[in-house]
């Protein structure tokens, strides 16, 4: 039964890619998740090197908000999965456990119209690749069968992500990121990576600490992490090493060098 169901899910993913007219990508996995499961949206977050994930694909605006919130706040179901490798299933975000677990993420997720969130690990053995995130606009759990299908989809996303990369980690298709990451998300990822590197040099801190500083500023200013990164890369914003706590900045526009 499990093998038959897995074959059916893979068939749906392949069919989605054929309709789109491209190779199978993580976006096809997310589209099938929304089609086959009682969820409103889906996203894939890849394991990052600086203690957070990279958003690879997303099906809708709410899903993008949920993923960006987690990257900015440094908390949430997808990040827990990246750390622990265990599924996170929250059938009702209004319950107290969610607010205690993620005091920053939970109220903003509810404000973004999410009522339930589920995150599944993307991993093969000890290799942890990322997480598949799902949300519902109404509270409610996944049934045992639906949870099994979600795990199959997470496995599919894992295979797609691993097979889409060359040995050097470069994308397999020009103009796109790994697993068919859309160009706009690939650009955002590159900007965040570049901004983190610039902050690391400017403040003489590690990459991990630089990302924490970048994230802290985005949170304090109530801005999207990708927007802050874009300003830093364009030299419109520079973190000030002489101020404390981390995240304080000099907002003056900097001249290009």
pLDDT in tens, 215-249: 788 878 888 777 888 888 888 888 876 544 343 33
Query: What's the rounded Cα separation, in Å, for the pair 218 and 214?
Result: 6
- Encode pLDDT of 17-52 as tens digits: 899 888 888 899 999 999 999 999 999 998 866 556
Instruction: Specify whether the CB–CB gap between 17 and 28 falls below 8 A.
Output: yes
- Summary mean pLDDT of the chain: 81
Rg of the Cα atoms in the chain: 19
Residue of higher predicted confidence among 8 and 200: 8
From residue 106, alpha-carbon distances to 40, 77, 109, 136 in Å are 17, 10, 5, 14
Number of Cβ within a 10 Å radius of residue 37: 20
| Structural domains of the chain ordered from first start | 2-177 (3.30.450.40), 183-250 (1.10.10)
SS3 category, 50: coil
């Amino acid at each position: 039964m499990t093998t038959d169901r897995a074959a059916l899910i893979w068939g749906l993913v392949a069919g989605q890619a054929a309709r789109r007219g491209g190779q199978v990508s993580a976006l096809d996995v997310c589209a099938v998740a929304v089609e086959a499961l009682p969820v409103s949206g889906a996203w894939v977050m890849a394991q990052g090197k600086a203690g957070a994930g990279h958003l690879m694909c997303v099906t809708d605006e709410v899903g993008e908000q949920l993923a960006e919130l987690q990257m900015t706040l440094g908390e949430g179901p997808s990040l827990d999965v990246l750390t622990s490798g265990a599924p996170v299933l929250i059938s009702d975000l209004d319950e107290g456990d969610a607010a205690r677990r993620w005091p920053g993420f939970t109220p903003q997720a509810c404000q973004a119209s999410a009522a339930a969130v589920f995150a599944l690990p993307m991993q093969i053995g000890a290799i942890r690749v990322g997480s598949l995130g799902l949300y519902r606009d109404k509270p409610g759990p996944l049934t045992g069968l639906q949870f099994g299908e979600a795990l199959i989809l997470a496995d599919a996303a894992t295979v797609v992500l691993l097979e889409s990369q060359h040995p050097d980690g470069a994308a397999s298709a020009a103009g796109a990121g790994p697993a068919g990451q859309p160009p706009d998300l690939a650009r955002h990822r590159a900007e965040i990576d570049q901004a983190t590197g610039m902050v690391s040099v400017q403040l003489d801190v590690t990459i991990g600490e630089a990302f924490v500083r970048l994230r802290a500023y985005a949170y304090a200013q109530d801005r999207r992490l990708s927007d802050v990164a874009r300003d830093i890369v364009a030299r419109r914003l520079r973190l000030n090493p002489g101020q404390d706590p981390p995240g304080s900045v000099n907002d003056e526009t900097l001249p290009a060098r």
